[in-house]
Structure 1
Amino acid sequence: MNHALPDPACALVVLSGGQDSTTCLYWALARYRRVEAVTFDYGQRHRVELDAARTIARMAGVSQTVLPIDTFAALGGNALTDSGIAPAAVEAGALPNTFVPGRNLVFLTFAAALAYQRGLGEIVTGVAEADYSGYPDCRAHTLAALEGAINLGMDTRIRLVAPLMALSKAETVALAAEVGALDALAYSHTCYEGEVPPCGRCVSCELRAKGFAEAGVADPLISRTRGR
């Protein structure tokens, strides 16, 4: 089958509506000639994530595709898709119950299929090894292996790019400020309880707050929703 290879100057950003993917979107806008976003409706309990992603894509002026994937909700067994499971503290040596097995593998494979059709040569994702969670599908060697499989399976040249992979949360906040993402971060959502204003108690809220504090930057989401 003959087909044109995707353009490496054009990128597809996996946009969840969270802090990291929003930062990656603005990072990409500063580096690529053309940028699009893809958001996955995977049956997440907190639909506010989808609203956040739509708002941020609109603010950034990028085309957004929302793809439905309901299989994760059908599988259940984790705190992000199963209403009967609440986010819990992480036990030593174990993955948190917010881990959705296979999520990033599936997301990036679907993103690659979309990028292939749109002629976009790079997929930008906000995964990071430095994140507290230790999710195995956020690690550099996982992305390298998946990139190889995607290019073999699609006979193409698509690169998976993770600009936050080795950054701490404080460094990610500094990068967001550098690329002009702070205004959009005022509409991002990371709270595991799905609350707006964010609950401030869950692990995700604590991690976000720690990053902004260490970077010496006021969280624009808190300023917008709590008036400070």
Structure 2
Amino acid sequence: MQSNKAIVVFSGGQDSTTCLFKAMKEFDTVEAVTFDYGQRHKLELECAARIAAEFNIQQHVLDMSLINQLAPNALTRTDIAIEQKEGELPSTFVDGRNLLFLSFAAVLAKQKGAKHIITGVSQSDFSGYPDCRDVFIKSLNVTINLAMDYEFVIDTPLMWLTKAQTWQLADDLGAYDYVKNNTLTCYEGIIADGCGECPACLLRARGVDQYEAARREGRRL
């Protein structure tokens, strides 16, 4: 089995696609795992599949629809509004999502002989999601290593990057235009610039504006 192999947790969004490009430069073999958890927009799954196919990345799609039964949320239910009230987690937060996703990714990785699991979570530009924090990732890394007696490394290349710095990374990887025009971040299911109004689109657009301003001025972020 190859040791220089990585599994990328892949949704077809800006962050995971940037991680995919980074992994393709750093590892001999890269595979992707995508989770079908009853997303509002099946276009997310189609987008991920299209990108994986375009770059000849073997993609594994796992059924995680049980999450929707356990933790109803705005990402899977059209009758729940996308909102964030002061002092509360956004309605888009899905309890246990990254815990389950990364645990299942680890099972897959071991079967595939991969030591590295790559995920695009970020503590710098997140929406208050507790399962995007560095301390959670480090804790889970220890747990899955013990659970399977296997030396996994959960790589989080975006952990301390702002959205603007993530765009800079995509540019450094030669993937800026591709990520900007072909990924799906929008909660309303619109590729590229999205709806321009949902929280995900606003965060993405702010990052683009900040990075492009820095690039025009010749600054690195």
- Pair in the same fold by TM > 0.5: yes
Q: Whole-Å Cα distance in 1 between the matches of residues 146 and 134 of structure 2?
A: 19
Q: Whole-Å Cα distance in 2 between the matches of residues 60 and 211 of structure 1?
A: 26
| Aligned counterpart for 2:81 among listed residues 81, 86, 90 | 86
Q: Tell me, which stretches of 5 or more residues in structure 1 are unaligned?
A: 218-228
Deviation at 1:46, TM superposition (A): 1.1
Match of 2:219 in 1: none
Which amino acid in structure 2 is aligned with residue 97 of structure 1?
A: S
Match of 2:206 in 1: 210
Q: Does 1:14 align with 2:18?
A: no
Instruction: Tell me the secondary structure at the aligned position of residue 30 of structure 1.
Output: helix
* 204-213 or 185-194: bigger deviation: 185-194
Which amino acid in structure 2 is aligned with residue 200 of structure 1?
A: G
Which amino acid in structure 2 is aligned with residue 116 of structure 1?
A: K
Q: Does 1:61 align with 2:56?
A: yes
Q: Tell me, which stretches of 5 or more residues in structure 2 are unaligned?
A: 214-221
Q: Paired residues, what number?
A: 211
Q: Whole-Å Cα distance in 2 between the matches of residues 16 and 106 of structure 1?
A: 15
Preserved CA contact (<8 Å) 1:72 1:81: no
Q: TM-score, normalised by structure 2?
A: 0.91
Q: Does 1:201 align with 2:177?
A: no
Deviation at 1:180, TM superposition (A): 2.3
Runs of 4+ in 1 over 4 A off after TM superposition: none
Q: TM-score, normalised by structure 1?
A: 0.88
Preserved CA contact (<8 Å) 2:5 2:115: yes
Preserved CA contact (<8 Å) 1:105 1:137: yes
| Aligned counterpart for 2:159 among listed residues 165, 188, 203 | 165
Which amino acid in structure 1 is aligned with residue 93 of structure 2?
A: F
Q: Whole-Å Cα distance in 2 between the matches of residues 56 and 78 of structure 1?
A: 27
Match of 2:141 in 1: 147
Deviation at 1:22, TM superposition (A): 0.3
Deviation at 1:61, TM superposition (A): 2.1
Deviation at 1:76, TM superposition (A): 4.3
* 52-61 or 203-212: bigger deviation: 52-61
Measured on the aligned residues, the alpha-carbon RMSD in Å equals: 1.5
Q: Whole-Å Cα distance in 2 between the matches of residues 213 and 203 of structure 1?
A: 15
| Aligned counterpart for 1:113 among listed residues 101, 107, 111 | 107
Match of 2:32 in 1: 37
Q: Does 1:97 align with 2:110?
A: no
Deviation at 1:107, TM superposition (A): 0.3
Deviation at 1:132, TM superposition (A): 3.6
Preserved CA contact (<8 Å) 2:34 2:48: yes
| Aligned counterpart for 1:191 among listed residues 169, 173, 186 | 186
* 66-75 or 23-32: bigger deviation: 66-75
Instruction: Tell me the secondary structure at the aligned position of residue 120 of structure 1.
Output: coil
Instruction: Tell me the secondary structure at the aligned position of residue 41 of structure 2.
Output: coil
| Aligned counterpart for 1:26 among listed residues 11, 21, 30 | 21
Q: Among all aligned residue pairs of Structure 1 and Structure 2, give the percentage whose two residues are the same amino acid.
A: 49
Q: Whole-Å Cα distance in 1 between the matches of residues 68 and 109 of structure 2?
A: 25
Preserved CA contact (<8 Å) 2:8 2:119: yes
Deviation at 1:183, TM superposition (A): 4.3
* 160-169 or 67-76: bigger deviation: 67-76
Which amino acid in structure 1 is aligned with residue 55 of structure 2?
A: A
